[in-house]
Amino acid sequence: MTAQVAVSAASVLRQYYVLTKPRVVQLIVFCALIGMVLAVPGAPAMAQVLLAGQACLGIWLVAGAAAAFNCVVEQGIDARMKRTAWRPTARGELGNAQTLVFSALLCGVGSAILYYWVNPLTMWLTFATFVGYAVVYTVILKPLTPQNIVIGGASGAMPPVLGWAAMTGDVSPEALILFLIIFLWTPPHFWALALYRVEDYRKSGLPMLPVTHGSEFTRLQVLLYTFVLFAAGLLPFVYGMSGWLYLVAAMLLGLVFCLYAWVLWRDYSDALARKTFQFSLIYLSALFAALLIDHYV
């Protein structure tokens, strides 16, 4: 009996953990950490390392709260989509009340950590990001317009700004450059996914671009955004944030992303759309990793 109770408790905890969309939150925290590191010239002191750890914890909790809230709002949509039908809220394993209490708890604890252990600006920016994603994007924009990803991408692009604010107490042009890179990366990243998941989105009733404007138009938008992203990826070097090592990495990564987008536009296949989506994840992680390495070389 004790073993069964332990297994049941572990299963429930895992369901709550899944609500936070761990892989998405890990990328958010990674991008925030990049902002923190770049905001500190040279090697950080122990006090700055501790501050960064506290900021990462607070941002992780609030981001997880936003993800859980998103699961409540979209449980009906999630249940109709193969990609998301396994989520605990979509399967009815966790009720709305439980999930909302969990979300509020994470948001409250994360906000308190940021306010008292980091600084009020970071807390308010993080809370604004929560509202932007969970309410403005999920509740209003996503079901209303095929440009939902473009407009809502502002929330997803905030992590480096949060990280920068955590370490400096302000928002500088360098932080805004990092914001711009993620903002421009978001549309081609999500539209590549939507292209090979178009039937899922059609069943869900969401007005994603491939559903409302077709595959060819969406592929053209992916290509155009990727070109603009290539240019934005060079801004850290142009502005003096980074050196030649980053420039080489940014050019190589950007050219490969553009090549994927070009081939996708000219000769579409679901397999290629999937590879483009997967490379977009590699692109952002590798670009920011190069920025991090360049900072210390």
Average pLDDT on 230-237 reads: 97
On the question of pLDDT at 252 being above 50, the answer is: yes
**pLDDT of 4:** 42
Question: How do residues 53-102 score in pLDDT, each as one tens digit?
Answer: 999 999 999 999 998 988 888 776 666 776 666 677 777 777 788 888 99
DSSP 4-22: HHHHHHHHHHHHHHHHT-H
Give the C-alpha separation, 117 to 236, whole Å: 30
Residue in this structure with the two tokens 């997880």, named with its chain if needed: 64
Q: Which string of b and e fits 181-216 if b means at least 16 CB within 10 Å?
A: bbbbbbbbbbbbbbbbbbebbeebebbbbbbeeebe
- Of 30-44, 100-114, 145-159, 280-294, the range with the lowest mean pLDDT is 145-159
Average pLDDT on 229-255 reads: 96
Residue scoring higher pLDDT (281 or 92): 281
Give the C-alpha separation, 294 to 241, whole Å: 9
Neighbour count for residue 100 (Cβ, 10 Å): 14
On the question of pLDDT at 184 being above 90, the answer is: yes
Average pLDDT on 142-146 reads: 77
Q: List the domain boundaries for the chain.
A: 12-167, 172-297
State pTM to two decimals: 0.89
**pLDDT of 7:** 41
CATH 1.10.357.140 fits 12-167, yes or no: yes
On the question of pLDDT at 286 being above 50, the answer is: yes
SS3 category, 234: coil
On the question of pLDDT at 10 being above 80, the answer is: no
